[in-house]
Amino acid sequence: MQSAPTTLGASNEKAQLLSNKTHYSPTDPDARISIKPGKARKLNYNCSLAVDTAEGIISHVQADFADGRDSQTLPDITLKLQQWLVHNELHLEELLADSGYSNGSNYALLEQWKITVGPPRGWIPVFGQYKSQIEGFPYDPEEDRFTCSEGKRLPFKTFDKNAEGGWLKVYRADYQDCKHCPLKLSCVPKRRSAAAAMPTAYPDGL
């Protein structure tokens, strides 16, 4: 049995847990301890820049508390950027950001605002282990379903969670479709029907 990995020096008897419940700055009480993989915990702010990719011009700068996720700041950043652009008779049409700004509610909001976040130009890559395809099971986005190599449909059935707490969308074929399928022993030998679990873009909940 392997023990869980720990931060270097955590076993020292004088080691302290650094969190916003245990530490604050008396000279800058709005600073927050940020937690980033591979980086030391310390009091920070999150700084975001909006840049015109065509001209390289910084069009918006924003500071936020460092104890929140990047994805939580995207709606406010985008709204303020839009307001500045409209004031200058410009219109925001496409947006690029890293996967830290990815979640389902952000995609829905930007789509509602008619801002492109998908290829070929705008882009916010999906987070973590999300996959848009499963080999051998082509996906139909309009019907929200997969199809197996035998032509049987696997429609969306329900939501579930993986071991890490991430959301999954579960797609499942009907029992009768799989019961006499010649590929059942190699596809799903221990299940009543074929199923596919796809990580979804909802890290902050549905």
What is the C-alpha separation between 195 and 163, in angstroms, rounded?
A: 18
Pseudo-torsion of CA 114, 118, 124, 127, nearest 10°? 120
pLDDT in tens, 145-203: 889 888 989 888 887 776 555 567 788 888 888 888 888 888 877 776 766 655 554 33
CB 167 within 8 A of CB 199: yes
- According to the per-residue pLDDT averaged within each range, which of 103-107, 121-125, 158-162, 164-168 is highest? 103-107
**pLDDT score, position 41:** 83
Output the CA–CA distances (angstroms, integers) from residue 29 to 19, 26, 43, 98, 193, in the order listed. 14, 6, 10, 29, 56
% of the chain with per-residue pLDDT over 70: 75
Place of tokens 């679990």: 197
**pLDDT score, position 64:** 93
Q: Parse the chain into domains and list their residue ranges.
A: 139-199
What is the C-alpha separation between 197 and 171, in angstroms, rounded?
A: 6
3-7, 48-52, 68-72, 73-77: the lowest-pLDDT one: 3-7
